[in-house]
């Protein structure tokens, strides 16, 4: 990613989402395309009315860039509000989903077999406010088996989001250049990364800001602090937490083969990472039940090479945003603990971002009336301002 992503003081966060399953298109079956440009649409599939409870939805296959900068075939969804489009076209909200797993059958929105009513509520909300919605599956998830999803790799998440905005605008002439990003949990991290990256990769579009609902941040600092054979044997650092750490390590191993992540792992750790690369979240939780983080690691993760690679891979920017940032943070969140939210908010303020912050007292990613009202204000500000030239 262009520029340097500022490092931050650490705390712990664990990210959760909803597991889904999709119809997988093996990479070998994808027609050969000579150096497809990111954001190029390859296919559009209209979905029957009622998909995600919405009348007008489509699946879009498109191209983005992977961890190595090379082309990756990915999928996402497009939803159009009812009625006639405004004169300048429907403004767009890019919806970034939460954790679903690592395998190609674990896409976020393009399949409803294990769908989330909570995500459908968000999609329907944005449509009711007069916004079209695009929702990427991210690299490695969704309809294409291109290898393990590089879990929490913020640049590929952001690239997939920006490229779907472009692909959707090609697929549907009713879409405006005006757009914003929203995400919760892993999606909150992705949405913040999108807001940062769009400045250099999509200056031709009219970006208006980002909403992050209980976003993941600073996980990398805890991994460095506790990651090693001597990781304390306490419940917080076992089971589900082990699963999330294993997903991060597996994603990093995919994205950065030069780092030789395997050299940090025990035989048990390598076997676990090999075994979860094609699994969805619920199956990963089953595989890691009762496992301790320390059992995965043959040596500490705190050396400079590993620390720098992990920060580049997943660190959330805390400065350099050029459009508004709205943070919706639950003080009673036990998935991404409240102290972590406070650290992120404080660092953004110190970084000159001046985010609007609305505090709730709900479960992870749940919104109270004040949070919904802040979202209403955010979206109304977009529709009240004419498109930029």
Per-residue pLDDT reduced to its tens digit, 159-199: 999 999 999 999 999 999 999 999 999 999 999 999 999 99
pLDDT, position 27: 47
- 138 and 152 housed in the same domain: yes
CB 339 within 8 A of CB 347: no
Query: In which band, very low, low, confident or very high, does the pLDDT at 375 lie, cut at 50, 70 and 90?
Result: very high
- 286 and 203 housed in the same domain: no
- 48 and 175 housed in the same domain: yes
- 119 and 191 housed in the same domain: yes
- Specify the number of domains making up the chain: 2
Going by C-alpha positions, the residue among 199, 222, 149 that lies closest to residue 317 is: 199
Span 93-107, average pLDDT:
92
- 260 and 175 housed in the same domain: no
Q: pTM here?
A: 0.90
- Beta-strand pair 57-65/41-46: antiparallel
**Is 181 part of any domain?**
yes
Q: Which residues does 361 contact at the CB level (< 8 Å), separation at least 6?
A: 330, 331, 332, 368
- How confident is the model over 19-51, as pLDDT tens digits? 333 344 554 455 554 668 999 999 999 999 999
Number of other residues whose CB lies within 10 A of the CB of residue 124: 16
CB 337 within 8 A of CB 13: yes
| Residue 235 belongs to domain spanning | 219-312
């Amino acid at each position: 990613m262009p520029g340097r992503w500022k490092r931050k003081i650490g705390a712990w966060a664990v990210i959760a989402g909803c597991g889904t399953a999709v119809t997988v298109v093996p990479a070998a079956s994808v027609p050969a395309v000579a150096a497809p440009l990111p954001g190029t649409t390859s296919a559009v599939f209209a979905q029957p009315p009622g998909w995600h409870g919405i009348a007008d939805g489509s699946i879009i296959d498109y191209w983005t860039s992977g961890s190595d900068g090379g082309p990756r075939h990915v999928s996402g969804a497009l939803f159009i509000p009812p009625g006639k489009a405004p004169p300048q076209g429907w403004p767009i909200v890019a919806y970034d989903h939460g954790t679903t797993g690592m395998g190609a059958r674990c896409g976020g929105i393009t399949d409803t077999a294990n769908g989330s009513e909570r995500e459908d509520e968000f999609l329907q909300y944005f449509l009711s406010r007069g916004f079209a919605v695009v929702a990427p599956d991210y690299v490695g998830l969704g309809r294409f088996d291109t290898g393990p999803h590089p879990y929490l790799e913020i640049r590929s998440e952001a690239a997939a989001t920006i490229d779907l905005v472009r692909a959707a605008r090609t697929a549907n002439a009713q879409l405006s250049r005006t757009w914003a990003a929203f995400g919760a949990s892993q999606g909150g991290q992705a949405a913040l990364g999108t807001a940062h990256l769009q400045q250099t990769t999509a200056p031709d579009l009219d970006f208006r800001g980002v909403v992050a609902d209980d976003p993941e941040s600073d996980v990398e600092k805890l991994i460095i602090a506790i990651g090693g054979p001597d990781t304390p044997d306490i419940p917080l650092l076992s089971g589900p937490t082990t699963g999330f750490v294993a997903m991060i390590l597996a994603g990093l191993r995919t994205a950065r083969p030069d780092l030789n992540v395997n050299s940090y792992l025990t035989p048990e750790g390598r076997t676990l990472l090999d075994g979860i690369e094609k699994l969805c979240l619920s199956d990963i939780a089953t595989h890691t039940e009762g496992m301790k983080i320390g059992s995965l690691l043959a040596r500490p993760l705190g050396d400079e090479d590993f620390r720098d690679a992990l920060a580049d891979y997943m660190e959330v920017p805390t400065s350099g945003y050029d459009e508004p940032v709205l943070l919706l943070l639950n003080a009673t969140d036990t998935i991404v603990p409240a102290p972590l939210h406070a650290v992120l908010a404080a660092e953004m303020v110190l970084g000159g971002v001046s985010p609007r912050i609305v505090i709730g007292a709900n479960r992870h990613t749940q919104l109270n009336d004040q949070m919904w009202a802040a979202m209403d204000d955010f979206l109304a500000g977009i529709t009240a301002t004419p498109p930029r030239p």
